[in-house]
Structure 1
Amino acid sequence: MHSQPLNAADFDVLEDTLLTYGDDHSVLNTSELDGFFTALVSSPTQVDIADWFPAIWGGQNPNWEDPEEAKRFIELSVRHFNTLARQLAEDSKAFAPRFEESEHQGQTVTLAEEWCFGYSRGVTLAQWPDMPQIQAGLLETIFELAEQETFELPEDFDVPAYQKKVALVAPAARALHDYWLSQR
């Protein structure tokens, strides 16, 4: 059971816990957590749970109301972390970022900002070194979307152009994982 990918109810538990204990400095949702973990499992060096777990909370662990709640969050986080690591190592083509969606003028828009922001947090925590130009460009594809504000989309928001950028994120993440894997 501990090696099984998370289901919708598991992600709901993670989401609820992040909302309950999070603040402006912490990971705020499962999309951002997914991006954070993707960067960590793709990293050129291993990042220990003792480092990444407090980073979820902005550097300070929450004051848990119930130790079982903390245990459950850690177990689900580790399962998701391991699922991403296994998937990217064994079948990276099946990897799909956990993006959010929104409605804009009657269209469903896939939003990558929070996932990309989580990814950038993971890159920073793992202290990725400089990379060759191609890989640096792939990372910039992700970082650019991390900085694009999508909380409220302007009326003239160019959905097709944005979706083209979003479509580049998963291939970039896969390629960065593969690059670092080949360097280990």
Structure 2
Amino acid sequence: MHIHPLSPSEFEFIEDTLLKYGNDHSVLNPSELEGYFTALVSSPAQIDIAEWFPAIFGGQTPQWQTPEECRTFIDLCVRLLNTLAAQLTTEPQAFKARFEQTEHAGQPLALAQEWCFGYLRGVAVGNWPALPEPQALQLQKISDCAEQDNFDLPVDLDVVLHRQQVAAIEPAARALQGYWVAQR
């Protein structure tokens, strides 16, 4: 499989499309979409597009303005999915999650909540069974971060702890992907 990662303009198209057709139950940005796809490619079984695509839009199929718009969006989603699958399989240590970025108290800060929320959406769509304790602890690192409110960071945020929690997410995602690949 030839890996052709998405360009910034292609991610912009994805973001615009998600905003245009999204609702309260949809994936809302590229970070959440990447988390979602990371969980799907890490699932115990392959998930068919007929299952994962409607879940992007909260179970509803958008009323596309043109067939070309739909085709382009699906093509970009499949490319992103395949890029993540190839990267996690062939170069897992090079895997970098697409976290949102902000600034807090004059310092750059990664926000992982949306990526993690997308990951948990993928776990649900993939219908993951109960995990053994070591893997359940890895999933808990992702799930704990999905529950954080990164939209209104407290003034007294423990930046060091926050960064440690965010730093644990990529290794957890790699460990979960490795576990499920070994089970297939």
- Using structure 2 for the length normalisation, give the TM-score: 0.98
Query: What one-letter code is carried by the residue in structure 2 that aligns with 1:163?
Result: R
- Using structure 1 for the length normalisation, give the TM-score: 0.98
Quote the Cα distance in structure 2 between the aligned partners of 1:164 and 1:109.
Answer: 11
Indicate whether 1:125 and 2:129 are aligned. no
Structure 1 SS opposite 2:108: strand
- After superposing on structure 2, the runs of 4+ consecutive aligned residues of structure 1 that deviate more than 4 Å are none
Aligned pairs for 1:10-159 (under 5 A) are 10-159=10-159
Quote the Cα distance in structure 2 between the aligned partners of 1:84 and 1:15.
Answer: 18
% identical aligned pairs: 57
Indicate whether 1:163 and 2:180 are aligned. no
C-alpha offsets along residues 84-130 of structure 1, whole Å, 9 cap, x if unaligned? Answer: 00111111011011001011121111000000000000001111011
Please, which runs of 5 or more residues in structure 2 have no aligned partner? none
Q: Which residue of 2 aligns with 1:7?
A: 7
Quote the Cα distance in structure 2 between the aligned partners of 1:9 and 1:91.
Answer: 25
Following superposition, the deviation at residue 54 of structure 1 comes to 0.1
CA contact (8 A) 2:111 2:150 kept: yes
Q: How many residues align?
A: 184
Query: What one-letter code is carried by the residue in structure 2 that aligns with 1:159?
Result: V
Query: What one-letter code is carried by the residue in structure 1 that aligns with 2:39?
Result: A
Quote the Cα distance in structure 1 between the aligned partners of 2:126 and 2:171.
Answer: 21
Following superposition, the deviation at residue 146 of structure 1 comes to 0.4
CA contact (8 A) 2:3 2:86 kept: no
Following superposition, the deviation at residue 65 of structure 1 comes to 1.0
Following superposition, the deviation at residue 63 of structure 1 comes to 0.7
Quote the Cα distance in structure 2 between the aligned partners of 1:50 and 1:74.
Answer: 12
Quote the Cα distance in structure 2 between the aligned partners of 1:111 and 1:124.
Answer: 22
Structure 1 SS opposite 2:110: strand
Please, which runs of 5 or more residues in structure 1 have no aligned partner? none
Quote the Cα distance in structure 2 between the aligned partners of 1:96 and 1:120.
Answer: 17
Quote the Cα distance in structure 1 between the aligned partners of 2:22 and 2:149.
Answer: 20
Q: Which residue of 1 aligns with 2:181?
A: 181
Quote the Cα distance in structure 1 between the aligned partners of 2:152 and 2:67.
Answer: 37
